[in-house]
Homo-oligomer: A and B are copies of this chain.
């Protein structure tokens, strides 16, 4: 159950047996069904979710429209990280796109863990750095690439998600309407 988590942590730390036990104590297993909302807009996020199995969609709500900000997959830490870090109400909703198997750590348990296991500071630093790098990559794609190029990159790096996720979620993640994505796909089909 904790194998994937330990593997993820091993990228940055070599925890002792005792520390591994502390980690397993802090991260609690939780199963949630498709469409379950882990964080709702307006709430303060108090948990971080490591995904053993499933997909989680982060989205913003603008008027009545849902706009996908990210799709988290297996072996990633998912959260409304902004809200979690600042303790302010989340502008984002976190919703399961599939039945999910998660390992959950709360705010409080993470603070406990910092005390018992100081190297956790290093891990969460690495985690923050990774999330920065990721956000930066997506941002630079918005700055540098056309919607068509963004779709092609997405296709290259996340081919499986095209099968697992409704297309209009991907459209809004790419910053365009479903109609526009459909046109882009048609254009690309005709080129080949």
Contact = CB atoms under 8 A, between A and B. Distances in A.
Contacts of A86: 133
A124 interface: yes
Interface in A56-115: 60, 62, 67, 69, 81-82, 85-86, 91
B81 A132 contact: yes
Contacts of A132: 81-82, 85, 128, 131-132, 135
A144 B62 contact: yes
A36 interface: no
A142 B175 contact: yes
A136 B90 CA distance: 12
A172 B131 CA distance: 24
Contacts of A129: 85, 128
A166 interface: no
Contact of A69 (B125, B128, B140): B140
Copies held by the complex = 2
Contacts of A128: 125, 128-129, 132
A140 B60 contact: yes
Contacts of A69: 139-140, 143
Contacts of A91: 140
Contacts of A118: 118
A162 to B, nearest CB: 20
Interface of A: 60, 62, 67, 69, 81-82, 85-86, 91, 118, 121-122, 124-125, 128-129, 131-133, 135-140, 142-144, 172, 175
10 A-B pairs closest in CB distance: A128-B128, A125-B125, A135-B135, A132-B132, A121-B121, A142-B142, A128-B129, A139-B139, A131-B132, A85-B129
